[in-house]
Chains A and B, each alone.
Chain A
Amino acid sequence: MKSALLPVLTFPVLILLALLLGACRGEMERGDPGLVLDVAISPTPPAVGPARLIITLEDTAGAPVEGAEIVVEGNMSHAGMVPVVDTAQAEGPGSYGISDFRFTMAGDWILTLRATLPDGRWVRAVRPTKVVGRVGGSP
């Protein structure tokens, strides 16, 4: 009897354990609500290869925010593809840029930007974008 019950008892215990573990994880936090982070991509739509990212960081009143470190991570919608990670350079008040962000494959990308200020405040923005294929070749 004991052996027959083994798998039956294992089942709820495992569920309980995993629920407890997973409950600690959640959707990615957006950070300080007083900061607004945005990105524009050139060319539009971006193609496989290098693209320019123009990033703006402002407060909710529209005042530019300077001195941030901004890291951009590009992931494809399909798991398992190597992400592209780059750091933006300051280009003016509240303006940052990456001149050579390399999209490695056509398809749907999700850009995750994280700006961190010297005082520890941070904000995250997520931007889905569609990358088109290069004409006449495999990416």
Chain B
Amino acid sequence: MRSPLLGSFLRWRHSRSVLQALFLSLAILVMVDGFWGPQLSPKNMAGVLPWVHWRGFVALALLLAGNLFCMACPFMLPRKLAKKLLPADRHWPKALRTKWLALFLLFLFLWAYEAYHLWASPLLTAWLALSYFVAAFVIDGFFRGATFCKHVCPIGQFHFVNSLASPLEIAVREPGVCATCRTRDCIVGRYEEPRGLDQGTEALRPHERGKLLQAGCELWLYQETKTGNMDCTFCMECIHACPHDNVGILTRAPARELWEDPQRAGVGRFSRRPDLAALALFLTFAAFLNAFGMVTPVYAVEAWMGRVMGTTSEPLVIGVLFLAGMILLPALLVGCVARCSASLSRSGRTIIQEATRYGYALVPLGFGMWVAHYLFHFLVGGLAIVPLTQEYLAFLGFSFPRAPSWAVGPLVPESWLLPLELIFLELGLLVSLVVAYRIAVREVGPGPRAVRAFAPWGLLALFLSVAGVWLLLQPMEMRGTFMGS
């Protein structure tokens, strides 16, 4: 925030709106071309921008910075309109104030991607984007704050969980300044009339305070006790609201927050959030199953399952495969590991209590697999946007000296791809092992008990890493048609 150019831009009140407008125009381009353009994925913005570039940049942003894609989220601009047109005054039902709904939607998203070959269908991709806009508009139009981001958005949950391993976070610079702050603008917002507390008088209610000049955090992350990136969309409202300029985008030790367990504003303790731990574990295993959907052996598995189930319906077979691979098998594996860990360390905890403490350790490994997978597509196909844009502009009457050349190569030499993928995966493993050990030390203290508590989780991480290496060494197969056709 204090760097000369970038810092000035980010401190500008409308910086997020500008980024969102840019991404909104890209999203509109995707929808328009998806609905009305050629239905050949490599020749359509809806086939290239979301599935090659967006995912690649998300992986890079999370790896090198933080949750930048929630910051620039295009779905939030129409939401601003919704907040003006609709009441936006209801409280999200208490029973849904967890991550379970978002986890279910994430499962649905990943299943639909595979079962209906979203990457091969510009039309379905466009419908998906449109549904997203409608959902964000309706939910945040009727409910208070950023309900959609916190409790519903599957993509946002992906960002939240993986940004736990990112090097940047929005945090306070000097905790002492917050301790003396009387206004709490970072959470309640800044109004025309001061809150009252800062003047030693009775606090005014929001409707008594005139116009809202700057909103506070809509995800209820109070800066003084906010820790880490969970649920933080990098919206920067707190930065702009803080009258003391005490909030900024700061660097930190990546993944450190995974082994620390303070009481976090708007989140609580990680160790008391089974829904969060389940989301983290789900995303870890989903990384491997998602990659499994792109290699040749998946055909044999699907064909075998189809025979056993007596069906040729790919959505059904993939639904069962995903249910087994993303929910049942992980539950079984994690349950066994948690039981072993609790027994060996004599922690006396139940399986769920143990898994809720250690499950976060697998996040870096899962993230490593997501990065390996998404960067592969980006590095191989990143340049495809050049001829596609050329062709798009040619339709609009722009002329180019040469016809678009579709035979563009990868962004890096092809021989680098596999080593790079392996590096990301194994880096994830390494960080996961460190996190698991640090959690063990936190839970049972240093010494042999910590080693015994750590060992089963370390073995699970190692097993997943070996599975990942096997996956990356498999021949790839790009699917997109009905099973058996």
A11 contacts B24, C-beta separation under 8 Å: yes
Q: With A14-B21, A18-B28 in contact, do A79 and B48 touch (Cβ < 8 Å)?
A: yes
Interface residue B380 (Cβ < 8 Å from any Cβ of A):
yes
Secondary structure at chain A's binding surface: helix, strand, loop or mixed?
mixed
What residues of chain B lie closer than 8 Å to A27, measured between beta carbons? 37-39
Interface size class of B (residues with CB under 8 A): 35 or more
Pick the contact of A105 from B28, B39, B476 — CB < 8 Å? B476
Residues A10-59 near B (CB distance < 8 A)? 10-11, 14-15, 17-19, 21-28
Query: Which of A8, A11, A78, A137 neighbours the largest number of chain B CB atoms within 10 Å of its CB?
Result: A78
Q: Which residue of B lies closest to A112 (CB)?
A: B40
A106 contacts B477, C-beta separation under 8 Å: yes
Interface residue B246 (Cβ < 8 Å from any Cβ of A):
no
Task: Report B467 CB to chain A, min CB distance, Å.
Answer: 18
Residues B2-57 near A (CB distance < 8 A)? 13-14, 17, 20-21, 24-25, 28-29, 32-33, 35-44, 47-48, 51-52
Q: Which residue of A lies closest to B120 (CB)?
A: A77
Task: Report A96 CB to chain B, min CB distance, Å.
Answer: 21
What residues of chain A lie closer than 8 Å to B77, measured between beta carbons? 7, 10-11
Q: With A14-B28, A26-B38 in contact, do A82 and B475 touch (Cβ < 8 Å)?
A: no
Secondary structure at chain B's binding surface: helix, strand, loop or mixed?
helix
Q: With A107-B480, A108-B120 in contact, do A80 and B20 touch (Cβ < 8 Å)?
A: no
Q: Which residue of B lies closest to A21 (CB)?
A: B396
Interface size on A, residues (CB 8 A): 44
Inter-chain CA distance A20–B109, complex, in Å, is 30
Interface residue A60 (Cβ < 8 Å from any Cβ of B):
no
A26 contacts B36, C-beta separation under 8 Å: yes
Pick the contact of A14 from B24, B33, B479, B485 — CB < 8 Å? B24
B380 contacts A80, C-beta separation under 8 Å: yes
Interface residue B407 (Cβ < 8 Å from any Cβ of A):
yes
A78 contacts B409, C-beta separation under 8 Å: no
B52 contacts A80, C-beta separation under 8 Å: yes
Interface CB pairs A-B, < 8 A, 11: A6-B14, A10-B24, A11-B24, A18-B25, A79-B381, A80-B42, A81-B381, A82-B380, A82-B410, A106-B477, A107-B479
